[in-house]
Structure 1
Amino acid sequence: MTAWDPALLAAPPLTEGENRLPPAHKLFALRTLPLGEIRAIGFDMDHTLARYRAPEIDGLAFKKAARLLVRDRGYSPWLLEIEYDPGFAVRGLVLDGLRGNLLKLNRERQVVRACHGSRAMPRPELDVVYGRRRLSTAAKGFRNIDTLFEIPESHLYAQMVDGLDRGLLKAENYLQLFRDVRWAIDSAHRNGEMKAEILEHRHFFIPPDPQLALTLDRLKREGKKLFLLTNSEWSFTHGVLSHLLDGQDEARPRWTDYFDLVVVSSRKPAFFLETPEPVALEGRPRCFTGGHAAWLEAQLGAEGEQILYVGDHIYGDVLRSKKNASWRTLLLVPELERELRLLEARNQDMRDLVRLETTRRRTLRRASVLMDQWKRNRVRRHVLGPRLSAEAAVALDHEAAHLASSAEALQRRAELQNLEMDTLMKSVEAAFNPMWGPMFRDRDEQTRFADQIQQFACAYTGRVGNLYMYDPHATVYAPMPALPHERMI
């Protein structure tokens, strides 16, 4: 047995080919992140430290919410016959509870795609309902689908809108459906039944992550103070994290050994907005419920940009911790791994789209110049007409005919290029999601979700374990900002 026997190592040795990280294992920095200046690193639990098995966890929430609606709100048992469709919705959408619609917005908050119930709405219908104006999602009846917990809510609401339209369900309006679905999803998570089932079958619903314990151990050994900040209550938190971390490292036999401070039932985002007193958990050293950001900073001896918080909720974890506490933020986007695989698989198609669009624009630019030359020709013919010789007039008319036919030919070519590009674009976008396309983009525009990430996250990645491959004292650099003309150099 040699010293390099994997059985003797905490982690397998790196091979020569592992000098370059695969994209799915990278941190993508939006602002330069000096890890050496970070004194404390905090973690959310749900969909951050714990990655639940999807779509099974979503299907469980969907079914439990449907049962609650039938049992407690008197809805038709027809709801119980519906199968959950994990591909129906994606994160970053917006529910319009007043109209029964689900919306995809661009970075300007304009609606670029929508469905009424489960029916896709064509562009003319979108223009009639929403126009091209900016949408205020803070208005009554709107709900941002920003967490993975809300994906089954979207599908359940869409199915209930279909049921109301078809006369299968009774309700006053779409807004009542919206409120009842919101109540059912919240109740399914809060009444304890769903959490009890998850813990009973934790080996199925919570897959282990071998890199998680290694990552936390490395950060702690390098002098970082680690804390847990979760909205889940103690019993569920203990059940989940003991499953993931207990016994993974001889030096840290219990999951609490990885953390300097544990805060459960934290009530985020109120944790960053209010100042309730924390309550110590009896018999659990360094474990509390409640509290607030200023108290937590005092406990850790770190504040503001000395703290990095890792979570999956763009509002509760990232936006509020950054705006109200000035913490640095790392957004967990579990869907990123799939998006990266699809980008790699459709790489040639993406290159073809860029080539087609570049060619189309050049074609249109050339057609525009030819049309301007035709107009100048006609103006000259009109102004100089009486003074032109017959031969000169014929020459100008001949040139005009040639310019017009050339411009028209280029216009037809651009139309064919646009048709080819549109067909390819639809194929690429459908690979991500047939209804919504990619999460971060719609054609050549960024989505509202992508814009929020750029505004409030210092960096984003697919899983906590990706931190293991980064030196805790190094700097993770964001791409150098550049104006369009600088990218040509």
Structure 2
Amino acid sequence: MAADSFSLADFDVIGFDLDHTICKYKLNEVFPLIYYSLAKNMVEKKGHDKSLLEPFELDKDFMTKGLVFDVITGDLLKLSGDGHILKASHGTRILSDEEIQTDYGKGRLWSPDKFQQLKETLKQTDDMRYFENYFDMTGAVLCARMVDIIDKKQADGKRPKTYYSFLSDMWQCYGYSYNRENFAANKGLFFPPIKENPEKYFQQCSKEMKDWLKSLKAAGKVVFLCTTSHVDYARHLLQYIIGPDWQSYFDVCCTYARKPGFFTGTPETRPFYELVDDVEQAESIVTTLEPDNIYSQGNALALLELLKKLTGKDDPKVVYVGDSLRSDVFPMASLNWSSLLILEEMQAEGLITNGDKENDGSDGDTNNPPPKRKKYSLPDALEIEYLLSSKWGSFFTTNNNISGDGKNENQTGIAAMNTLWGYFIKTYSDIAVPGLEYIIDLPLDHKFPTFSVEKNRSGFYPALPKALATP
């Protein structure tokens, strides 16, 4: 990400994620469903304490995007971009600054080796897991409750002397919930309710959104879909939010892509498979993709060969649009593709308006017209209750910006985007918007400032999150 400006008109190819990108979920409905599915599996399949089944809503204020769970200590951590602990909890109890310094030292530095691996690779490990997307975020609440349960059962009332070993059970239970075979079989706790009542969990695309998606192909862009959802679930979503003609919006569709591996794998390690009646054909490996088809699994290198053919260019310029920093944004650097990040937390936390200290850049700027907010449907007031956390604070910054010596390094009064996930945003994404609705009224050649300029904050459109405003 080197350019100072970003314009969709400059790209030959535009790729889209599906879940939480083209398909807007009603988060206040889907978060409790995901948690219930996970917790019930933990209790019934793994034999864990029934108190996990207490309503998710009781601890919804505890949930926030980006928490890191340290399996050894049982602590959940909100980290800075340089590995210091901005906030922490043990179980559901938020730790005081004094407790954090007692456990981690005056500088509040997390394990340097673990942090460096996380920052450089974004890989999950056996002794550390993080929660950065809407399908896994409720796992932070389950981890906190499990730590409370385990500590309570300790005879001396202290933490276990080894580590908190339930994480493998939790990840298996996620697997039970999201098993791709469950949708067709109408099994499990996650897919059947969504299958029966899509209107409860999804927002349909507006006519303006559908017209905008169509306009991309009309403007000569190659448009592809790449989703980790299996084909039958993806089809269910797309038929509901777009309509029966949904496939005509895309030149090719890649399903069950299992990102980020789709973007980092090779044709040998991550082949495409043919689909027949939405069933993956294990013996039918596809080596050459054809347009207007739907495929399963696969890799970006083989997809790129089709994109070259469709654009007539040896090195087509590609941008991918998605909501996951780990799966949709971070891998783009290795492909030399650009990324547009969908980040609902921007709107949930509030955007700087013309009446605030910093405006949204639209006053007197004909190239950056004020957005038409009346069309925005995300997130609504109910969803905001699930996206905001008074316990953890802003996704973008934390006031107690701790340096290595334990002192407050922010003496200027300017709010720095100092969280670990803020680092990933400004380092790997070109621009970030709360949702696609924020850009569909703009001309295709609109030029957005990117995160490469203005102290790595200019990439937010239509405005900075209020947490980053100058006080």
Is the CA contact (8 Å cut-off) linking 1:30 and 1:454 kept in structure 2? no
Corresponding residue number in structure 2 for 1:390:
none
Corresponding residue number in structure 1 for 2:370:
none
Aligned residue among 248, 256, 263 for 1:265: 256
Distance in 2 (CA, whole Å) between partners of 1:467 and 1:331 is 12
What SS class does the counterpart of residue 180 from structure 1 fall into?
helix
What SS class does the counterpart of residue 223 from structure 1 fall into?
coil
Aligned residue among 442, 456, 464 for 2:428: 456
Aligned residue among 185, 188, 197 for 1:201: 197
Is the CA contact (8 Å cut-off) linking 1:153 and 1:182 kept in structure 2? no
One-letter code of the match for 2:229?
S
Corresponding residue number in structure 1 for 2:371:
none
What SS class does the counterpart of residue 340 from structure 2 fall into?
strand
Is the CA contact (8 Å cut-off) linking 1:96 and 1:141 kept in structure 2? yes
Q: 1:140 to 1:483 in 2, by over 3 A?
A: closer
Deviation at 1:325, TM superposition (A): 1.0
Corresponding residue number in structure 1 for 2:15:
42
Is the CA contact (8 Å cut-off) linking 1:30 and 1:459 kept in structure 2? no
What SS class does the counterpart of residue 136 from structure 2 fall into?
helix
Corresponding residue number in structure 2 for 1:439:
395
Aligned residues: 368
Corresponding residue number in structure 2 for 1:243:
240
Corresponding residue number in structure 2 for 1:379:
none
Aligned residue among 107, 115, 139 for 1:153: 139
Distance in 1 (CA, whole Å) between partners of 2:328 and 2:455 is 31
One-letter code of the match for 2:12?
R
Q: 1:130 to 1:208 in 2, by over 3 A?
A: same
Q: 1:472 to 1:201 in 2, by over 3 A?
A: same
Distance in 2 (CA, whole Å) between partners of 1:479 and 1:164 is 43
Distance in 2 (CA, whole Å) between partners of 1:237 and 1:172 is 45
Deviation at 1:83, TM superposition (A): 3.4
Corresponding residue number in structure 2 for 1:188:
177
Is 1:129 the counterpart of 2:139? The answer is no
1:17-63 Cα distance to aligned partner (Å, 9 max, x none): xxxxxxxxxxxx99411322201111111111111111221111111
Is the CA contact (8 Å cut-off) linking 1:280 and 1:289 kept in structure 2? yes
Deviation at 1:473, TM superposition (A): 3.2
Corresponding residue number in structure 2 for 1:290:
297
Corresponding residue number in structure 2 for 1:420:
none
Is the CA contact (8 Å cut-off) linking 2:227 and 2:255 kept in structure 1? yes
Q: 1:455 to 1:70 in 2, by over 3 A?
A: same
Aligned residue among 150, 160, 164 for 1:164: 150
Distance in 2 (CA, whole Å) between partners of 1:344 and 1:59 is 32
What SS class does the counterpart of residue 99 from structure 1 fall into?
coil
What SS class does the counterpart of residue 95 from structure 1 fall into?
strand
What SS class does the counterpart of residue 150 from structure 1 fall into?
coil
1:122-171 Cα distance to aligned partner (Å, 9 max, x none): 11211222232354244651112211112210011111111112229999
Corresponding residue number in structure 2 for 1:86:
60
Corresponding residue number in structure 2 for 1:228:
225
Distance in 2 (CA, whole Å) between partners of 1:272 and 1:482 is 30
1:174-218 Cα distance to aligned partner (Å, 9 max, x none): 531222222223321226221232121101101223143122012
Deviation at 1:262, TM superposition (A): 0.3
Distance in 2 (CA, whole Å) between partners of 1:111 and 1:150 is 22
Which range is displaced more, 328-337 or 293-302? 293-302
Is the CA contact (8 Å cut-off) linking 2:40 and 2:53 kept in structure 1? yes
What SS class does the counterpart of residue 203 from structure 2 fall into?
coil
Q: 1:344 to 1:87 in 2, by over 3 A?
A: farther
What SS class does the counterpart of residue 157 from structure 1 fall into?
helix
Distance in 2 (CA, whole Å) between partners of 1:281 and 1:295 is 17
Corresponding residue number in structure 1 for 2:245:
254
Is the CA contact (8 Å cut-off) linking 1:31 and 1:459 kept in structure 2? no
Q: 1:125 to 1:346 in 2, by over 3 A?
A: farther
Is the CA contact (8 Å cut-off) linking 1:30 and 1:479 kept in structure 2? no
Distance in 2 (CA, whole Å) between partners of 1:113 and 1:318 is 25
Percent of residue pairs identical: 24
One-letter code of the match for 1:122?
S
| TM-score normalised by the chain length of structure 1 | 0.69
Is the CA contact (8 Å cut-off) linking 2:76 and 2:88 kept in structure 1? yes
Larger radius of gyration: 1
Corresponding residue number in structure 1 for 2:88:
114
| TM-score normalised by the chain length of structure 2 | 0.72
1:285-310 Cα distance to aligned partner (Å, 9 max, x none): 51111221111111122576711100
Corresponding residue number in structure 2 for 1:360:
none
1:366-408 Cα distance to aligned partner (Å, 9 max, x none): xxxxxxxxxxxxxxxxxxxxxxxxxxxxxxxxxxxxxxxxxxx
RMSD: 3.0
Which range is displaced more, 53-62 or 161-170? 161-170
Is the CA contact (8 Å cut-off) linking 1:305 and 1:326 kept in structure 2? no
Corresponding residue number in structure 1 for 2:71:
97
One-letter code of the match for 1:166?
K
Deviation at 1:267, TM superposition (A): 1.8
What SS class does the counterpart of residue 440 from structure 2 fall into?
helix
Q: 1:346 to 1:30 in 2, by over 3 A?
A: farther
Distance in 2 (CA, whole Å) between partners of 1:435 and 1:65 is 23
What SS class does the counterpart of residue 350 from structure 2 fall into?
helix
Corresponding residue number in structure 2 for 1:212:
209
Distance in 1 (CA, whole Å) between partners of 2:74 and 2:201 is 32
Corresponding residue number in structure 2 for 1:327:
337
Is the CA contact (8 Å cut-off) linking 2:13 and 2:316 kept in structure 1? no
One-letter code of the match for 2:132?
D
Is the CA contact (8 Å cut-off) linking 1:39 and 1:224 kept in structure 2? yes
One-letter code of the match for 2:72?
L
Distance in 1 (CA, whole Å) between partners of 2:454 and 2:301 is 37
Is the CA contact (8 Å cut-off) linking 1:76 and 1:168 kept in structure 2? no
Distance in 1 (CA, whole Å) between partners of 2:320 and 2:9 is 15
